[in-house]
Amino acid sequence: MNSSYSKLVKNLEYLKLKQMLVHLDETIDFMTNNQLSFTETLIKLTDYEIDMKEVNMVRSMVKVGAFPHLKEIKDFDFEFQPSINKQQILDFATLRFIEQKENIVFLGTSGVGKTHLATSIGIAAAKKRTSTYFIKCNDLIMNLKKAKLENRLENRLKHYAKYKLLIIDEIGYLPIDAEDAK
């Protein structure tokens, strides 16, 4: 191992550029075999690091979203529910409704896939770096009631308001008394 290569490896380790380190040898070989310029080689090498950071960012956004499961639109069986307009759902996944400051409400009986579709749209949003949070209506009410008792209601409301997409599931699933409805 030559000294400049060793120094490069140490620098990458120190800077914690793990993907660049993992792909260093193959990138050097590719550069040599394809006569890439220094700039082209550096772009190829940094792309590995950027790709991994993007994957980690998406994973983090999905985790923060607190989804009940990781089902996506591609996992939904539209043939099982032919009354659901697939094109409309795909349009929702583009997040155009967020840009237009619109709300989506899924109505239907239990078991038709409302949670799956809401989660799928939320995951699509999180993957596009849109701050997203999923919560059941009853949990939301309980959190707000607790915050009110602790004199932190305004802070708790600000917490929920910071998300560009707030998914509230199971509205109407459990009865809501008059005080909670406020």
Residue among 167, 166, 165, 62 at smallest CA distance from 114? 167
Q: What pLDDT, on the 0 to 100 scale, is given for residue 117? A: 95
Length of the chain: 182
Segment 55-79 shows an average pLDDT of 86
Express each pLDDT in 70-124 by its tens digit.
888 999 989 888 889 999 999 999 999 999 999 999 988 888 899 999 999 999 9
Distance, CA of 130 to CA of 133 (rounded, Å): 10
The phi and psi torsions of 167 (rounded to 5 degrees) equal: -100, 120
Measured on CA atoms in the order 14, 17, 22, 25, is the torsion positive or negative?
negative
- Asked if 91 and 59 touch (Cβ cutoff 8 Å), the reply is no
Q: What pLDDT, on the 0 to 100 scale, is given for residue 2? A: 67
Q: What pLDDT, on the 0 to 100 scale, is given for residue 180? A: 76
- 82 CB neighbour count, 10 Å cutoff: 8
What residue type is 108 in one-letter code?
Answer: G
Q: What pLDDT, on the 0 to 100 scale, is given for residue 155? A: 96
DSSP of 137-160: HHHHHHHHHHHHHTT-HHHHHHHH
Segment 37-49 shows an average pLDDT of 93
Structure tokens given for 71 = 């089902």
Alpha carbon 129 to chain centroid, angstroms: 6
Q: What pLDDT, on the 0 to 100 scale, is given for residue 64? A: 83
- Asked if 134 and 66 touch (Cβ cutoff 8 Å), the reply is yes
Q: Is the pLDDT of residue 143 over 80?
A: yes
Average pLDDT, the chain: 91
